[in-house]
Amino acid sequence: MTITATAPRAAAYRGRLRWWTELPLIAVVYALYSGARLLVRGDVSSAVQHGADILHFEQIVHIDPERWFNRLFTDHAFLGVPADFAYASLHYIVTPTVLVWLWRRRPTHYRMARTWLMLSTLIGLIGFTLMPTAPPRLLTGHHGFIDTMAQYGSYGWWGSEASAPRGMGDLTNQYAAMPSLHVGWSLWCGIMLFRYGRHWTVRTLGVIYPLMTAFVVMGTANHYLLDAAAGVLVMGIGFLLAKPALRMVDALYTRYGFGRPAAARGEDAADASADAATGALAGTAAAVAAPAGSTASGGAPQDATSITETVAGTASADPSGGEPATESADPAAAPSVPRPTPAPDDRSGTAPLPDGEPAARN
């Protein structure tokens, strides 16, 4: 008998995670984030000074590869143009695609992953508010950075204002370099693909994508190396806060009686439900495999009828729709039937005598 707990667990989560509730939730959170990001642009002179300070610190500790990457992209269009396409599009395509993939293929892990991404994004918004920072491309000319989005703008739909479409630069905050959520989101996508992808190509993409994104954001002069490091840090903080946040939400649901089933409250409850189902099925399998006349832990013997009723009851309660187990035939469990007594072996050829009459002697 093969016992699988994935099916009931996934069914429990799909029963609770509906697209018509998840999609508005994600849309509202992203709209709030985008709107707030526009409102916290801060003072331009302060943002430029913050960017110059970051670059100066990197130069002191000799971790300033941005200028070398930027020169590589500006000197070679075959590198710069694909990098601009990647910066302007993948950030908004790969992340929602991975979210949908998790919801469809890994529903038991989706809720934790979605909460992690949302919390990290909101933490990044705090960084934009507290420290507005100009990217390298907006520093004064003597720093030597070239805006590749403006240089190769004729190849695509973007303008010189970050990754916004041409003519829509007012809808983006160009002074939100610290932290880099391009790097943060790509790291989240990479971890999801590497951890939950089954094919080696998917896992390989999970490793390549965040590394490529870090290379792109520095080469296009949109972020510093420390911006990328801050994006990684933000994702780490969001991960640590995700489970406590889920527990708090579940407690509020329980307290105010929204009626969410306990078995669907977080991954811990799902794991407990799956373990209980596995234990029940394993016990049934052991009972079926034992002889009907044997005793379990000193208990009374089980007959074939009781085992059949137990298996039938477990199968009907099994939400995974598994087939009921069958009992193998055991000669020791079959009731004894008296065998007919064979006729006596009369080798003398004489007929049997009537009862009570003595046999004649020769």
Average pLDDT of every residue of the chain: 75
What local confidence, expressed as pLDDT, does residue 31 receive?
81
Residue 176 pLDDT more than 60?
yes
Residue 166 pLDDT more than 70?
no
Question: 219 or 280: whose pLDDT is higher?
Answer: 219
Residue 311 pLDDT more than 50?
no
What local confidence, expressed as pLDDT, does residue 354 receive?
47
pLDDT level of residue 280 (50, 70, 90 thresholds): low
Residue 248 pLDDT more than 90?
yes
When mean pLDDT is compared over 156-165, 167-176, 228-237, the highest value belongs to 228-237
Question: 340 or 83: whose pLDDT is higher?
Answer: 83
Question: 256 or 101: whose pLDDT is higher?
Answer: 101
For the ranges 10-19, 34-43, 126-135, the lowest mean pLDDT is seen at 10-19
In this prediction the pTM is 0.66
What local confidence, expressed as pLDDT, does residue 255 receive?
84
In this predicted model, what pLDDT tens digit does every residue of 179-225 receive, in sequence order? 999 999 999 999 999 999 999 999 999 999 999 999 999 999 999 99
What local confidence, expressed as pLDDT, does residue 284 receive?
54
In this predicted model, what pLDDT tens digit does every residue of 39-86 receive, in sequence order? 766 688 899 999 999 999 999 999 999 999 999 999 999 999 999 999
Mean pLDDT for 16-37 is 74
For residue 26, give Cα distances in angstroms to 18, 93, 206, 231, 306. 12, 14, 23, 20, 52
In this predicted model, what pLDDT tens digit does every residue of 95-136 receive, in sequence order? 999 999 999 899 899 999 999 999 999 999 999 888 999 999
- Among the listed residues 210, 230, 238, the one whose alpha carbon sits nearest the alpha carbon of residue 131: 230
